[in-house]
Structure 1
Amino acid sequence: MKQRGAGLLGCGYQLPKRVRCNNDPVFECLDISRNAQGIYQSLLFRDLDRRYCLGPDESITSLVTESCMRSLDSAGVEADQVDRLYGHVSVPEYHAPNALYQVHHDLGLDRKAMVVPINSEQVNFLSGIVHAAEAVRSGGAQYCLVACGSNWSQHIDYSQGHSTCIGDGAGATLIGPSDRFIVIGHASMTNTSYYRAATMGIRPLTVHGRRQVPVDNTGMPVATLELTQTGVEVVSSWIKDGIPELVNELLARHGISGNQITLITYQSVRILLDHWAERICPKEYVDTLAQFGHMISATYPVNLAYVFDNISTDYIVLAGVGLGMQLESVLVQV
């Protein structure tokens, strides 16, 4: 019996209301000095114009729920037809459970609908697509939502260069039986020797010369991202060359060339986007760095939903960078 195809049936995304531009006061404490290796980290993250950041009256969980609703509406599928909800909400309100369970409740999904949080930060969405497509192809599920949301603008050390690119957002896609937008392949590459290169955790920060642990409005400690010097070096070496290597191998495996694809990648460093464009040579490259910034795990579903109705190529490739370090790529036949 011929195996049925698992495809992307609909997409949706939601951004916060607040726009943060380059002249925002939060960037006044940015460290613009050269580090011990002679690198100005603040210069790595450039060519940004604005990012969308959560306000005090907004919840990343609500944005994820809204993006799921838009995905269901675009696919013409009711919430009670969903069998599984994959993805992740980050940084979560609790260590456990993940807020994806709240999304399940707010959407009104059936009690039999399985929730599958995937903490493969920042490639949660790509991992979710792979697992959801496998579930649909095997007959284990009919419809699977894959949704991710990121609120990392609230978990950043704004003295560090990488802080200038961070934005918030949420996006989702619905996967089910289809003969269009079929998930036909994926690939990954993991180098765990860089496990500590970039981490999210509770740690003291130096703010205006004072060492202190950041807290939220209730007085509780807040986790922040640390990109070590090794992390900076990984960005400009292993990640820089690993993405085109992974994507080109995936394309070659399926007999596809770059000029047949729309490429959606990790977005934070301009030099990487330019390098990947040169090495992969996609027909279309979704570049929203200037208008959205880097939305961490939400980068991929937001950008996919942003262009979904206007795809003109035969294939879509999503390629991401996860902490850990893990590179992932997913191939979709339009």
Structure 2
Amino acid sequence: MTDAPEKRTLASPGILGCGHSLPSATCHNDDPVFRRMAQGPVDENAFDTLAFFTGADQRRRLSNGERIEAYMADAARLALAQAGIGPEAVDRLYGYASVPDHLTPNPLYELHHMLGLPRRTLVVPINSEFSNFLASLVLATESVAAGGARHVLIVCGSNWTQHVDYTKGHAFAVGDAAAAAVVGPEGLLRVVDHASETYSEQYLSMTMTVRPVNVDGHAHLPLSARGLPTPVYSMETAGNEVYQTLLQNGLPEVVNRLLARNGVSGSQVSLITHQGSRRLLDHWANKIAPGAYLESLQELGNMTLATYPVNLARHFATITTPYVVLAAVGTGCHLTAVLLENRVSRDA
């Protein structure tokens, strides 16, 4: 049995390093997988259509036989290297692999083994689609500040291209990806504040479960490579309405309130948000007016829970604004925003 980490109070934890990893296979808009979507009825007055979910030109996806866990491990190793620590220094592992092969355990436990983390490392899967990374970041910061841990590794991975209905417009932009971050003492990005709003009355608006998919007038249960029924994401009528109201207008309201109570203007912020629709990104940019918008919808599509750490990792060393805001939409349904101080720009 190994010893527990020394308990201490660290006044100023932050992100020490990031990493991301993407499948090599690229899916473009003319891919055959989208043909059923294009041939289906298009109602320009309806929400769930290609008219709304635009903006992606390509996205990455796992090839046959690939698992997102391998990319999560690659991203974690990059984050650890940038942070300048080894696996033996990790006290806690937060994050989530979505969608997991099993209801439990989450593959985050498998990742613990793949990385060779110590037995004493506490593994905590955070299932709060799509704000998993944000929630993990807040919890990691609090645990380090309280002295319960010195270094926390956060890893999120998405394999959602295997779990959407390609007759539905919201599936158009989905891509696979993984990313990681290390939180520890005196990191370059420090969590200043966070805010969340939960609309639990909309609990069933966006769901992932085993369900039949209708193709060419026939219903069937999608099967995994092992021949088992696989979960499929769905946005029912309520989900469509939520996207157009609570999520579309609520996200900038939460962000702007968070900025106001910390005396920060939009121009001081690099913004990273959910990225499923160019229409939404443009709307949020107009309402928040960030100094920079760090997004990759055209190149990488909607990476669901991995969207936030992937874009953070891609820009980690080049952010020039004094603050960063991560703003997530999620099932349940909820909105979460996190404000981070960029110590590099502060010290420059």
TM-score band, normalised by the shorter chain? Answer: over 0.9
Structure 2: gaps (5+ residues): 1-7, 343-348
Is 1:248 matched with 2:256? yes
User: What's 1:45 paired with?
Assistant: 53
CA displacement, residues 202-251 of structure 1 (integer Å, 9 cap, x when unaligned): 00111121111111122210100011121111111110111111111111
Distance 1:119 1:40 in 2: 25
- In the superposition, relative to structure 1, how do residues 247 and 108 fare at CA in structure 2: closer, same or farther (>3 Å)? same
Distance 1:222 1:145 in 2: 29
Distance 1:65 1:146 in 2: 11
Q: Residue 322 of structure 1: CA displacement?
A: 1.0
SS of the residue 2:155 aligns to? strand
CA displacement, residues 259-288 of structure 1 (integer Å, 9 cap, x when unaligned): 101000000111111111111110000121
1:277 partner amino acid = A
- In the superposition, relative to structure 1, how do residues 183 and 164 fare at CA in structure 2: closer, same or farther (>3 Å)? same
Q: Residue 47 of structure 1: CA displacement?
A: 1.9
Is 1:219 matched with 2:203? no
User: What's 1:276 paired with?
Assistant: 284
Q: Residue 293 of structure 1: CA displacement?
A: 0.2
User: What's 2:303 paired with?
Assistant: 295
2:71 to 63, 66, 69: 63
User: What's 2:105 paired with?
Assistant: 97
Distance 1:20 1:56 in 2: 14
CA contact (8 A) 2:47 2:240 kept: no
Distance 2:172 2:48 in 1: 13
Distance 2:213 2:169 in 1: 14
CA contact (8 A) 1:5 1:183 kept: no
Distance 1:246 1:183 in 2: 16
CA displacement, residues 27-54 of structure 1 (integer Å, 9 cap, x when unaligned): 1111642459644612111121000000
Distance 1:74 1:155 in 2: 32
Structure 1: gaps (5+ residues): none
Q: Residue 149 of structure 1: CA displacement?
A: 0.2
Is 1:28 matched with 2:35? yes
Matched-pair identity in % = 43
Distance 2:187 2:33 in 1: 47
1:9 partner amino acid = L
RMSD: 1.5
Is 1:266 matched with 2:274? yes
Distance 2:143 2:115 in 1: 21
Deviating more after overlay: 268-277 vs 29-38: 29-38
Distance 1:108 1:38 in 2: 49
User: What's 2:240 paired with?
Assistant: 232
2:171 partner amino acid = S
Distance 1:177 1:128 in 2: 16
SS of the residue 1:42 aligns to? coil
User: What's 2:213 paired with?
Assistant: 205
Distance 1:208 1:34 in 2: 15
User: What's 2:3 paired with?
Assistant: none
1:144-159 matches, cutoff 5 A: 144-159=152-167
CA contact (8 A) 2:48 2:240 kept: no
CA contact (8 A) 2:48 2:170 kept: no
2:12 partner amino acid = G
User: What's 2:4 paired with?
Assistant: none
SS of the residue 2:183 aligns to? strand
Q: Residue 57 of structure 1: CA displacement?
A: 3.3
Is 1:15 matched with 2:19? no
Is 1:325 matched with 2:299? no
SS of the residue 1:175 aligns to? strand
Deviating more after overlay: 228-237 vs 149-158: 228-237
Distance 1:135 1:247 in 2: 24
The count of corresponding residues between Structure 1 and Structure 2 is 334
SS of the residue 1:43 aligns to? coil
SS of the residue 1:139 aligns to? coil
1:170-185 matches, cutoff 5 A: 170-178=178-186, 180-185=188-193
Distance 2:46 2:204 in 1: 22
SS of the residue 2:201 aligns to? helix
Distance 2:44 2:318 in 1: 46
CA displacement, residues 133-171 of structure 1 (integer Å, 9 cap, x when unaligned): 000000000000111000000011100001111000000
User: What's 2:114 paired with?
Assistant: 106
CA contact (8 A) 1:150 1:297 kept: yes
